[in-house]
Amino acid sequence: MIHIKPFDRVNPSLVKQYYYCPVIPWIQANLMVAEPTTDSMVLGSEAVKPPTGRGQVRISTSRGATIIDEVIEEKNGKIIIEKKAFKSHNFSRYVSQAITSYVIAREKLPGVRKVRIAAGSKIVELEVNDQLVNDVEASIRSVERIISENNLPKPGEQDKCSSCWYRRFCPYV
């Protein structure tokens, strides 16, 4: 039997979903469903459009594919900018998403020194270092395994299930 998957490589959104619950990337890869765009997502993407004259960068490498909101060059190196319209009570998901973008892009975009996450009025700038990359690399490898194998991963905290859009497809619910 031919098993067709919608993607076979990691993207930052999958890693962000993995932090919410490891079962979500499995559902996306195996059942080929993705959350539809909501009105607030549309408003959010309008709110983070780059200024005139600047643009997003789409990069596909051996590690995956990503869209970077902006890349700016400063005298000590490049900065990858990840924009979010809204703050999140779980900011670490944004950090993992931005660092995943860096890990995917770095073979074609050398010289990146920092990632800057702008979420609403909150701006956080992180120096890229081995510790940060190693932590996120472990999650990227887990997502790579989840989307390439059919084995169902263990769920995350199940108190999130009641507000999870994927619950109607979830084998644990």
Site residues, ligand SF4 (CB under 6 A): 21, 23-24, 155-156, 158, 160-161, 164, 166-167, 170, 172-173
Nearer to ligand SF4, 64 or 155 (CB): 155
**Cβ at position 56, least distance to ligand SF4 in Å:** 29
Q: Is the dihedral of CA 148, 35, 96, 9 positive or negative?
A: positive
**Cβ at position 164, least distance to ligand SF4 in Å:** 3
Nearer to ligand SF4, 75 or 89 (CB): 89
Nearer to ligand SF4, 102 or 166 (CB): 166
**Cβ at position 89, least distance to ligand SF4 in Å:** 16
Element (H, E) at 18: helix 12-20
Nearer to ligand SF4, 22 or 64 (CB): 22
**Cβ at position 158, least distance to ligand SF4 in Å:** 6
- Answer left, alpha or beta for residue 145, where phi above 0 means left and psi between -120 and 50 means alpha: alpha
Three-state DSSP class for 153? coil
Instruction: Give 3-state DSSP helix, strand, coil % of the chain, rounded to 5.
Output: 40, 20, 35
